[in-house]
Structure 1
């Protein structure tokens, strides 16, 4: 098999660490952007070569020399209201990464986005990739990621091939995001089901995401967007309960009405905006939109155009977590 040389941003994060494992196990080489000594040590321990720089550095192309593909997975994923710093990281950072790739002579790139660009607080039921973006973003994270998607598509031309992947609710081995927060909330008594939690959600096991990214790079159409998820949606409460059970943690029975959280989120967002970020409520409309209503994605396009099929079932992923922890 031919070795491909990848440049990866976000390599020390949850998705990035698993991408390094996935790619190096296939015999490829990875140069991973690292902003700190700790990040550099983490990516190098996984088999990548660290390049010390920041997303916005002007010499980013230097670290890409000799690479053939860029995967831009780094992002500020804070679901609070951080418009200035988050926008710079997610939007200006995306432009700098892709423009630097072009300067380095790279011909192919993948931008890792999110289903959050579609969120408006209402249910999304089996939506496809051409579902329109809301006229007004639910929060700064969604706004910045949607703007970064447009940057990525604008960068695509006959000389520079760019594809976009949107996962939903990434989970699985080595999880340092969703599962630890879920366990902490359950143990502290702060976890409650919104309206009972009986709505459906799409999920994406980390190995299925890595597979989908690889297929999108190989078969994706220039400038196109692809949803990557596990095969079938699942009830949110059932899945979260199963995740907790893998760590020996029992799920709560208590529930909180959605109308109450919407009221708190709206008032908190208003206070945040008026105070210039000095005040923050207990929940934001951005964070609420990700887990309060059904969000399910149709992956027909990925199956038909990329040849994507989930390679690990939800049951197998849960069993792996139960054996190995996160």
Structure 2
């Protein structure tokens, strides 16, 4: 691609996934415009002329010619206020869409979430169409479903020529701010809840593989709103995955064996209490968290393999090694 080619806007570029996407695109010769609110974080991954310091809501006012938009920015957490999810994940997506329209973007690639499949039952080999549009397990899920629907409507109305949606599962790797730190925090505080002796299979994904999939989605896939599951394609029993993580850290596993039904009732009660408290604190256990650790959930990624040419390049064990090495380095630096 020539130096004069229009760049690809990456929203949330200062975040975990966004930073990997910027580096992946640049490594393959694609010019990038890295967008986010944190100027310091953006400066670590891109030159000043390649950055756009802006809140999502203000993006349309800063529009410039772009080839495509990769929309990574989101409020991604199992708990929060409904208005915050609406502002970040629905209204923020609408703002990124308006930027794409003004900038003449050819394609809009959206990072959605397989949380839309969450349910209190085992689900193996979930395909992209096996989603309940009315899933109301938490406000994050509602916001991601609403954002997907918004984009599908916009694409059908001709507001954006091409649309591709990815649903990557459980990102891990160096710099992980969520999955591994959350597991470790619970483990060290009270021990990790274990159900069915931890035999339930779960999928996770090396963040580098998600960045690769997003690069591929800029040119491959069904441009009329194709949706693609992304994972490492290597589901592991929850206990095995956790023990592998803890052994790398030299920690002895601490498990709390709990019945699913009782834990679900407890989580529901805790959510109800926290929802009415003035500070709206996150419950120590949520139904969404239970749906991810108490039940088997794996994704069918055959469509991504066939349509995008996706193939996981970083193994799950490599991703765990990198996440732990990074965690140790950050701990040592803070000491």
TM-score by length of 1: 0.90
1:199-220 per-residue CA deviation (whole Å, 9 max, x = no partner) reads 0011111111111111122111
For residue 150 of structure 1, what is the aligned residue in structure 2?
A: 149
For residue 26 of structure 2, what is the aligned residue in structure 1?
A: 24
For residue 127 of structure 1, what is the aligned residue in structure 2?
A: 126
- The reply on whether 1:100 has 2:99 as its aligned counterpart is yes
Summarize the Cα distance change of 1:274–1:205 in structure 2 as closer, same or farther, 3 Å threshold.
same
Equivalent residue for 1:288, pick from 290, 293, 306: 290
3-state secondary structure, aligned to 1:237: helix
Separation in 1, partners of 2:86, 2:18: 21
For residue 183 of structure 2, what is the aligned residue in structure 1?
A: 182
Q: How far off its partner does 1:321 sit?
A: 4.0
1:114-145 per-residue CA deviation (whole Å, 9 max, x = no partner) reads 10012122222111011131534211111111
Q: How far off its partner does 1:167 sit?
A: 0.8
For residue 172 of structure 2, what is the aligned residue in structure 1?
A: 171
Summarize the Cα distance change of 1:24–1:238 in structure 2 as closer, same or farther, 3 Å threshold.
same
Separation in 1, partners of 2:275, 2:320: 40
Summarize the Cα distance change of 1:28–1:250 in structure 2 as closer, same or farther, 3 Å threshold.
farther
For residue 67 of structure 2, what is the aligned residue in structure 1?
A: 68
Q: How far off its partner does 1:278 sit?
A: 4.3
Summarize the Cα distance change of 1:25–1:247 in structure 2 as closer, same or farther, 3 Å threshold.
farther
Task: Judge which range, 228-237 or 41-50, deviates more.
Answer: 41-50
1:185-228 per-residue CA deviation (whole Å, 9 max, x = no partner) reads 22334433234322001111111111111112211112110001
1:9-57 per-residue CA deviation (whole Å, 9 max, x = no partner) reads 111211112112222222333222222xxx2111221125332221112
Structure 1 residues not aligned, in runs of 5+: none
3-state secondary structure, aligned to 2:267: helix
Separation in 2, partners of 1:287, 1:217: 32
Task: Judge which range, 279-288 or 198-207, deviates more.
Answer: 279-288
Cα contact 2:203–2:299 (8 A) shared by 1: yes
The number of residue pairs the alignment matches comes to 321
Separation in 2, partners of 1:184, 1:250: 14
Structure 2 residues not aligned, in runs of 5+: 329-335
RMSD: 2.3
Summarize the Cα distance change of 1:246–1:26 in structure 2 as closer, same or farther, 3 Å threshold.
farther
3-state secondary structure, aligned to 2:165: strand
Summarize the Cα distance change of 1:317–1:286 in structure 2 as closer, same or farther, 3 Å threshold.
closer
Separation in 2, partners of 1:63, 1:8: 14
Map 1:41-52 to 2 at 5 A.
Answer: 41-47=40-46, 49-52=50-53
Cα contact 1:117–1:145 (8 A) shared by 2: yes
Separation in 1, partners of 2:133, 2:239: 26
Separation in 1, partners of 2:79, 2:215: 31
